[in-house]
A and B are shown apart, each in its own frame.
Chain A
Amino acid sequence: MTDTDTYLIRPNHQHKFKPAIVKECIREIVRERLSGMQYDPEEVPELSRSLAETIKDKVKQSGFERYKLVVQVVIGEQRGQGVKMSSRCLWDADTDNYAEDVFMNDSLFCVVAVFGSYYY
């Protein structure tokens, strides 16, 4: 039979969601955009939205086809308050993964989490 069935229901090892690569993506973009920035309540909504879009586009270009992406960006002001962020996922641990990074300077902190879920 020479039917050209190439529908993959599991990613090849090269095409798996690689947390290390994505973390590097996130780190570059966040450091470039946020170094030296102060927390400004007017700008921050737009900043966090555009940061999320930029990171999503960058990760898409890194070659994770067949992966659905969820990018979360949290930017908060540094005023000595306590904050805790946690997440749980119900997914296929073999194919799905996530990457996260935290950036802090004197006036703000930024947490980015990218979740990748394989689309069967």
Chain B
Amino acid sequence: MASVKLRASFKNTTGSHIPVLKVDIGELLSLGLAMDEYQTEEETAFVVEEVSKIIKESVEATIGGNAYQHSRVNQWTTNVVEQCLSQLSKLGKPFKYIVTCIIMQKNGAGLQTASTCFWDNSTDGTQRSTSVTVSLILVLGSCLDSSSIL
């Protein structure tokens, strides 16, 4: 018979009495009481190639080689972003995603994008792709924030 030490405390700081039990996952694993389903480091890291592939596919599927059309651009941005997001969520990683897309008509004007992030470099990352066709410029960026409750 195995026994595991549990620590209990009652949180009173915010006025809510939530019992909090703290258990050491390592102890449980070594006692064979917990399955090793906690994802490994590799599975939860940010994989750049997969994300680039997804971005490229979404862009090609939605816009293909079309010219800029004011009436359709609304639909395009929505589709590209939603497709990207659904593919990313299918990866099944414990990540939050932020996907942004800019489509601009090409008429000689300049465009500059910059982004800065405050996060954990070891788990989070960003990927950006720019496609330029004859008539339009598309910049697609996606940021991944790892969020694991442990």
A positions within 8 Å CB-CB of B:
1-9, 12, 39, 41, 44-45, 47-49, 51-53, 56, 60, 68-92, 96, 113, 115, 117-120
Q: Tell which of A69, A75, A81, A113 touches B100, judged by Cβ atoms closer than 8 Å.
A: A113
CB-based closest 8 A-B pairs:
A3-B9, A48-B114, A79-B109, A87-B100, A86-B77, A77-B109, A91-B96, A52-B116
B positions within 8 Å CB-CB of A:
7-11, 13-14, 20, 22, 68, 70, 73-74, 76-78, 81-82, 84-85, 88-89, 95-120, 124, 126, 141, 143, 145, 147-149
Q: Across the interface, do B115 and A52 meet the contact criterion of CB distance under 8 Å?
A: yes
Q: Tell which of B8, B88, B111, B118 touches A69, judged by Cβ atoms closer than 8 Å.
A: B118
Which residues of chain B come closer than 8 Å to A86, judged between CB atoms? 77-78, 81, 100-101
Q: Tell which of A2, A56, A82 touches B68, judged by Cβ atoms closer than 8 Å.
A: A82
Cα of A69 to Cα of B70 in the assembled complex, Å? 32
